[in-house]
Each structure stands twice: as C-alpha cells, then as structure tokens.
Chains A and B, each alone.
Chain A
C-alpha cells in the first residue's frame, strides 16, 4: 500500500511535468498575444514591447518554460498578467467554491446513481426499471449548460424557491445548501446516470453469480443478500466509473460555474484563457490534473479495501 502511494506520487510528479510542458507550449504557441490585451487598443508598438519585456515574453519560449519550471519547483507559480495577483493566491480564493460544487455534485451523483441502479436491478424490466434507465440515458445525453438553464428557469425564475446563482454562504447553512442544489444537480446528472447504468448492470451480473445462489441456499435473508453479499461485489466496477468520472466532473465545473455565476476555478480558467493570462491557465490546469490523479489514487486504495483479492 505504501509502495502504491509512493509510486503514484512519483507518477503524479511526472504527469504534472508533462502537463505543464504541454499547457505552456500550447498557450505560447497559439495565436494571441497577452501584451496586446494588457496594452489595450491604443497601445503603441513600443508600449507592447515594454509590456513583453516586463513579463519576460520576449525571451525564447524554451527559456521561458524552464524559468517557469524553476519557479514552480520553489512553489512560485507566477503572477497573473491581468491583476498581478499571485497565481496560488488567485486559486486559493476561488478553490473552495469549485471543490464545494464538485463534491456536492459527486455526492448527488453517487447517491442517485447507486440507489437508482440498485432499484433498477432488483426490479429488472419493471416500469421502475424502464423509467430509471430512460432517465439515465437522458441524463447522459442532456448537455449540462442546457439543463442548468432549464433548472434556473423552473426553480429560480418561475417557482422562485431557489437562488439563481452564486455560491456565497457557507455550505452548512440553509442558504448555502439552497445555493448548491441546482448547480450540483446540473453538474451531477450525467455522472449519476453513468453510475446508475453501471450499478444496474454490475448488480444484475452479481445477482446471477454462483455465490449469491450459495448465500440463498444458506437461507440468507433478502436484505442482507442484497446489501452484504451482492453490493460489495457490485461496487467494484462502479468505483472505477466514479473515479474516472471525477475528471469529467472537474471539467464540467467550468460550464456549470458559468451558468450559475459561481466564482470558482473554472471561471478563473475561462477568463484567463480569454485574456491570454498564461500563468493562471497553467496553474489551474495543473491543479485539476493533480486532483484527478489524487482522486484515482483514492479509488485504488478503496479497491483494495473492498476486494481482498487486490493487494498492492
């Protein structure tokens, strides 16, 4: 187990190194000059040159990259071109909103997904199953910006029971919860649908397995048959889906934060890309990649806890 964590940590470093390189190069090689954006429409050529000089953008790209990397290794991710704020500081102020949104969405997705999948499997081919599978298909297919807009229209504009957007109150207050509901549903629906489908098929496979028949031959009662003998086995593939999905979910925060006007890392990233604010883009992408790797490490650890056949 310790070996796995060390191995993964080294992998993480390697991965972050690769990602930093790719993001850095794609930002610098893509068209669009930060200096023209910072200087504004009236800037003269010498103004622009001065800005470039000031930001170090006039040096060769490779030199800039290694300079950046040297900074990163010392914990210095650079400063925003736009606001001059330290990248770490900009991320730290925006991060809580994003992590709140992502966690709430994942919780919504896991609870709805597993419960719906279990019910579907237990009542295979019943109307409950058909309804739930149809919703699952719809859930995967619906783009979440549309879903978000519809939810706002129904619950905030027409019914006026939930706020239109923003994530300003602490999550443990009633206000904070109310603010989280719509964004979490918007972002979590696709994942919930995937988890539901995976849970259903995995559960159906497990229910037909030999060891479930053995348990029934022992006279195991129905509820412990499902919740003890079947669930643990059925969860093994579902956990993989949850882990992989978390990556998509983090990507999804970008759109959801836009729709609900949430001041999170996703919006920070989008604004930074539009403004060619390289340091911010690099910092946020590294953060998202790092989280993804860590979440998948956690998934692997959970695996070993659930399935005794897996050891690292």
Chain B
C-alpha cells in the first residue's frame, strides 16, 4: 500500500531580482497513516518551507521547482489553486507557531471554526455550530458555547492554540502538519497541547508532520525523525535510532546541545558557526565548514544519502565505511 504522503526530490526556490535561491533541495520522505514524523533542524534549515510546500502556501516569491508530492493518489504540485483550496483544511491541515497572530482578530471564534465545516462539509450554520461546540469540547475548552461568540484577543495563548487545533481537525484530515505549535507556549501548556495532538491522532488515525527544533518534544511524540540542514535532509531514522545511535555529525551536535536533567554537571556543547543561507556557495557537504569530523573529501564532493538500515539514512562520508559493508547507496 502507498504511504499517506510521499514527497520525492522536492526542491523549492525563491525568485529574487538578482538570482534564484534554492531553499529546499532534494528532500524526500514519506508519512504513513497514524505515524508521526518530526522534522528537526535549526532556524532556516528549510523545515517550515518544506511543510508550506506541501500545503501549497509558499510565500509570494517561492515556488516548487522540482519533485513530486503525492497525497494518496493525488499529486499536489500539479493541482490548481482552486483544487488546492478543496484539499487544504479538508485532507491536509496545518497549525502554526504563533497562536497569538494566527487567528483573525476581527472575526469570532465561532465564525472561524464554522468556516471550514461550511466549506468542506457543506454544513449549514446551525449544524456547523453544533459541530463546533463538539470540537471545542474535544480540545478541552471549557464553556464552548460562550467561546464561540468571543474574539481571539479574549483567549489566552494556550486556548488559542487549542482553537487552532480544533479548526485544523474540524474535517478530520488525513494529514496534520504542525509547524512548531508549542514553541510560543510555556512548558505546562506545551505538554497539554502535545498530549492533545497525540490523543486526537489516535482517534482520527491521521498522519502527523511535526516541525520542531526542540529535541525534548521529538523524544516525546516522534515515530520517525528527519533532520534537516541547509535545505537538505541529512539524516532520517526511527526515533530510537536517532537518540541512541545518531550517525550524522549534525544530529550528534544537536543532541549534545540538549541539557540532560539526570546530569546537571554536564557541559553543553555547541555547534560552532551558523547555518548557511540559500545563497551561500558551499562545495562538497553543506555541513563541512562546521563539522568537527570534516575530511578533505567532504570539502570537494557532496556525500550521497547512505542507507544504514532500511529505516536509517545519513548524508555523510563517514558512513562510507559502513557502505563498503552493506554497499547500498540510494541517492546522490
């Protein structure tokens, strides 16, 4: 059976007056029904742009220049805007980082909730209102009937994010993309929101793409993890493999920079330097200027994605040793 979502060789480019900047390059991954894929990386690594590419919500100058995005049988890159309107909020939904600004300040919660039900499920206002109350109940908002008449500014950040989740799940999508939905919230609310997403995922059986830079969140919710760096995928593995046997030096670096509660004396390591921009010309591996293990080869030749096991890939020349054992290179 086909996976729920299959992204192959995705390339997203921004058109600027001087030149075209490629922000996402050769990104391939899949998500299954009921599975949670975490996309991890620093700011600017292309994780949000990857999710916006799937939604067809790229900023004005950006467009997909290569690759395919298959949602079930539908090829999303070939859909017109009108066709995408029918898919967004219906089959694929998205929640965003900033609950404070993500809701329309001049429309009531009720209006914003009912809208997708009325668009995609052709409900009348009354039926949509009943369903909205049910949804708010489900996401744990007290006295939902009164909330429907309120405006976003009358709700706290956590409440607003719950409303966002209710909106995103109104039509029981096959796929939910959550772009750092808990970053702007404090830790207790963060845990509640993660639990809520998990719970609803069990109930609806949707696939989830969770974009984050927080390895703690990854450990809590991920089934599989995809690490991105400089617009590329550098490592993909099961969550256990990522934490127990990370292969790519960048993944290792990310994990070393997470504090360990059991070891308060631990000194956090940092990854020297900063993420390259899309216009930085780097030969060879894009991570080599910051990599503690960089070899001469890394500066000259871009590494392919080495297959370490059926579920584990790493884009690093260090895996060439392993390659000589298994001899499987899947992509260059």
- Interface residue ranges, A against B (CB under 8 Å): 208-211, 213-222, 228-229, 232-233, 306-309
Contact = CB atoms under 8 A, between A and B. Distances in A.
Contacts of A213: 57, 96, 102
Interface in B68-106: 81, 85-90, 93-94, 96, 98, 101-106
B151 interface: yes
Number of chain B interface residues as a range: 20 to 34
B105 A307 contact: yes
B55 interface: yes
Interface stretch (B115-123, B224-232, B241-249): B115-123
B167 interface: yes
Interface centre among A215, A233, A307 (most CB of B within 10 A): A215
Contacts of B88: 216-219
Nearest to A213: B57
Contact of A306 (B93, B94, B106, B115): B106
A217 B106 contact: no
Interface centre among A211, A218, A233 (most CB of B within 10 A): A218
Given A219-B88, A220-B115, A309-B153, 19 more contacts: A211-B102, A211-B103, A213-B96, A214-B103, A214-B164, A215-B104, A216-B57, A217-B168, A219-B87, A220-B89, A220-B116, A221-B85, A222-B85, A229-B104, A229-B107, A232-B107, A233-B105, A233-B106, A308-B105
B98 A210 contact: yes
Nearest to A210: B101
Contacts of B153: 308-309
B164 A218 contact: no
A309 B168 CA distance: 24
CB-CB nearest 4 A-B residue pairs: A219-B89, A218-B89, A210-B101, A219-B88
Contacts of B87: 219
Interface string B154-186: 000000000010011000000000000000000
B104 A233 contact: yes
B106 A232 contact: yes
A211 B106 CA distance: 10
A145 B173 CA distance: 61
Given A222-B81, A308-B153, A217 B103 contact: no
A217 B81 contact: no
A219 B105 contact: no
A211 B105 contact: yes
Nearest to B104: A211
Nearest to A216: B57
A217 B105 contact: no
Contacts of B94: 217
B119 A219 contact: yes
A308 B107 CA distance: 8
A218 to B, nearest CB: 4
Nearest to A215: B104
A218 B168 CA distance: 7
A192 B107 CA distance: 28
18 contacts: A208-B59, A211-B102, A211-B105, A213-B57, A213-B96, A213-B102, A214-B164, A215-B115, A216-B57, A217-B94, A218-B93, A222-B81, A229-B104, A232-B107, A233-B106, A308-B106, A309-B105, A309-B151
Given A220-B119, A221-B85, A210 B105 contact: no
A217 B89 contact: yes
Given A211-B101, A229-B107, A219 B86 contact: yes
Contacts of B98: 210
Nearest to B55: A217
Nearest to B105: A309
B151 A308 contact: yes
Contacts of B167: 214, 218
A309 B101 CA distance: 13
Interface in B39-77: 55, 57, 59
B206 to A, nearest CB: 15
Nearest to B117: A218
Nearest to B90: A219
A234 to B, nearest CB: 10
A75 to B, nearest CB: 43
Contacts of A229: 104, 107
A74 B116 CA distance: 61
Contacts of B105: 211, 233, 307-309
Interface string B239-281: 0000000000000000000000000000000000000000000
Nearest to B81: A222
Nearest to A229: B104
Contacts of B115: 215, 218, 220
A128 B141 CA distance: 47
Given A232-B106, A308-B105, A217 B57 contact: yes
A209 B89 contact: no
Contacts of A220: 85, 89, 115-116, 119
Contacts of B85: 219-222
A217 B104 contact: no
Contact of A214 (B90, B104, B106): B104
B153 to A, nearest CB: 5
Nearest to A218: B89
